[in-house]
Amino acid sequence: MKKLLTGWRALPVTSRIGIGIVAFLGLLAIFGPWLAPYDPTVRSGAPFARPSAEHWLGTDDSGRDLLSLVIVGARPSLLVGVLAAVVATGIGTAVGLAAGYLRGATDTVLMRLVDIIMSLPVVPLTLVIGVLTGPGLWTQAFVIAIALWAPMARELRSQVLSVRERDFIQGLRSMGARNGYVLTQHVLPTVAPLLVPQLVLAVQTAIMLEASLAFLGLGDINTMSWGMILATANQRSAFLTDAWLWWVVPPGALIALTVLGFALAGGAMERSAGLSAQVRSRARKKPQILAQSPGDNVEHRSAAEESAPETLLEISGLSVRYGDTESGVGGCTAVDLRLGRGQILGLVGESGSGKSTVAAAIISLLPGAGTVHEGRIVLAGRNLLELSENERRALRGGQIGLVPQEAQSALNPVQRIGSQLIEAIRGHSTVDKVAARQRVLELLALVGLPAEKFLAYPHQLSGGQRQRVVIAMALAGDPVLLLADEPTSGLDVLVQEEILDLLTKLREQLGLSIIIVTHDLPVVAQVADQVAVMRAGLVVEQGEVCTVFNRPQHPYTQTLLASLPGIEQLQGATP
Ligand code: ADP
Ligand code: MG
């Protein structure tokens, strides 16, 4: 209960309003018949009566109380919406699972079907099926479900495709587990969280579609949903007099309110449970970031300050320019950063903000005309900018490991993984081949790859496995500092998750300090202790992840946080 209350307080106002609206509508749907002042099915006043003390919203053409009609109309409207959404999610899930898991011909056929349905505009599609199946509440729900399942199936399929390649699923399959068992016990639970936002979105769309269908004459004349009230108002020429004011506006407003309510409440789930598949599953692991009361925050900070770990890396006043002069372009300006031992620093910012430049300066690998004009980069007491070229070379892949941006293409496609790793090891120490081989096996185990991948070529590995190989290479020289430039970009959501788990595990096992460069805030939320936000070459804000995420000071950080996938993304997925 207490948890619920804290969770509620952490929600943004808009989400609370959304949940309030949905709860209100739910109550209306359940208790409507008892709340309505009159029986809306029988005549209770003069026809076409204007609002009065007896009939607050007046009456319709046959003298039925409009207020009662609207109240009682909540149930069928919501019922069709929710029912259609549940059925659509059910079909979408089944098709997505089947296509992604079985692949082959099943996949081809199902996905062509999805393509066809998605290429048709939703309203005409529902109309055509509706005309074929005839009017009625149940058929409406069915028709809407038919129109809505396709995008869900597609989304789910791509996730299933990636889950399917995961080691534990492959393991189960190789042990001869039945498809049905693997699907229901392992694949479905893994992808299930992705279904929640889809469902909320579908409810919204379905309620609007119901109104459209009813308005176009495909409603059930015996069940007055809001859409049906609108349709009747139109047929009885409510628009010719000012009757539309109390006959059309209230049900219309309720439909709008419902859609708004679900949209806002859906946003709440996105935020608190932190949706977009990534944000959501990440927030599960580190909920204190998104659901923390201001009080905790202060405590956390002071505790962290007390036990602040020893500084490993300190960058001060670092300015890099591309071009010959100090007035050259790009790079970064007056960057100050500090990283404690065993800590993870997230360096975030949009593309071109200078993140890679900072990383490259640390490891003395500035491309082309990039030059450090000012500043100090002190690693464990040594200013790296004062080292000789030889000393710097020893540092790279030695004390500092780099997982470069576009790391996947760093692997040689025609050389086996094992020998590439051996090269990486022998580049930094003079061990013999046997010892190097042994070390490669250790590294493979460390990054969670089976030993037989030693003989694999890069193309035989999945994207996630290749990323593990690149991380293993960066670890070859036993670094104290790992720089990972966009380590998760270009990977599937669930694989990203695994890579981040791996980095966290390595930090724990090896006591590594890590700088993760990323444009993806949720990545930082999940793994980092500290965050530095960059924009146009400047660090605009930095601090503890909890502090910065809960109370961003700089307007740019606020914008970044506000642009995390929310309602907008849900709506973006509307068919
Ligand atoms: P990020 O990694 O945040 O996307 P970068 O550090 O790659 O940003 O780039 C920062 C700025 O430096 C950008 O304006 C970019 O155009 C410029 N820049 C980066 N690399 C070079 C280069 N090799 N030559 C010239 N300008 C560059
Ligand atoms: Mg970059």
CA nearest to 212, candidates 77, 118, 86, 89:
77
How many angstroms separate the Cα of 161 from the Cα of each of 101, 157, 170, 171, 545?
Answer: 6, 6, 12, 15, 33
User: Does the pLDDT at position 336 exceed 90?
Assistant: yes
- β-partners of residue 532 are 347, 542
Give the ligand at the shortest distance from the Cα of 405.
Answer: 2
pLDDT tens per residue across span 34-43: 999 998 888 8
Give the number of C-alpha atoms closer than 13 A to the C-alpha of residue 17, restricted to the C-beta side: 9
Q: What is the pLDDT of residue 288?
A: 39
CA nearest to 473, candidates 507, 446, 455, 498:
446
The secondary element (H helix, E strand) that includes residue 242 is none
Q: Which residues surround ligand 2, an ion (CB under 5 A)?
A: 356, 405
Q: Are 463 and 491 in contact, with CB atoms under 8 Å apart?
A: yes
Q: What is the pLDDT of residue 471?
A: 93
Angular region, 179: left φ>0, alpha ψ -120 to 50, beta rest:
alpha
Residues with Cβ < 8 Å from 222, sequence gap 6 or more?
Answer: none
pTM of the model: 0.55
Q: Distance from the CA of 485 to the center of ligand 2, in angstroms?
A: 7
Average pLDDT over residues 369-374: 84
Higher pLDDT, 413 or 418: 418
Give the ligand at the shortest distance from the Cα of 351.
Answer: 1
pLDDT band for position 167 (cuts 50, 70, 90): low
pLDDT tens per residue across span 218-271: 777 788 889 889 888 888 888 888 888 888 899 999 999 999 998 888 766 655
Q: Distance from the CA of 354 to the center of ligand 1, in angstroms?
A: 6
Among the atoms of ligand 1, which is closest to the Cα of residue 367? Answer: 23
Among the atoms of ligand 1, which is closest to the Cα of residue 517? Answer: 2
In the chain, what are the helix, strand and coil shares in percent, each to the nearest 5? 60, 15, 25
List all residues whose CB is within 6 A of at least one atom of ligand 1: 322, 329-331, 349, 351-357, 367-368, 370
Q: Are 363 and 482 in contact, with CB atoms under 8 Å apart?
A: no
Give the strand order in the sheet containing 481-485. Answer: 400-403, 481-485, 513-518, 344-348, 530-535, 538-544
CA-based R_g, the chain, Å:
30
pLDDT tens per residue across span 264-299: 887 666 554 433 444 334 433 443 334 343 444 444
Higher pLDDT, 177 or 557: 557
- Please state which of the ranges 319-333, 448-462, 492-506 shows the lowest mean pLDDT: 319-333
pLDDT band for position 316 (cuts 50, 70, 90): very high
d(CA 549, CA 313): 23
User: Does the pLDDT at position 409 exceed 90?
Assistant: no
Among the atoms of ligand 1, which is closest to the Cα of residue 349? Answer: 3
Mapped onto helix, strand or coil, the DSSP state of residue 94 is helix
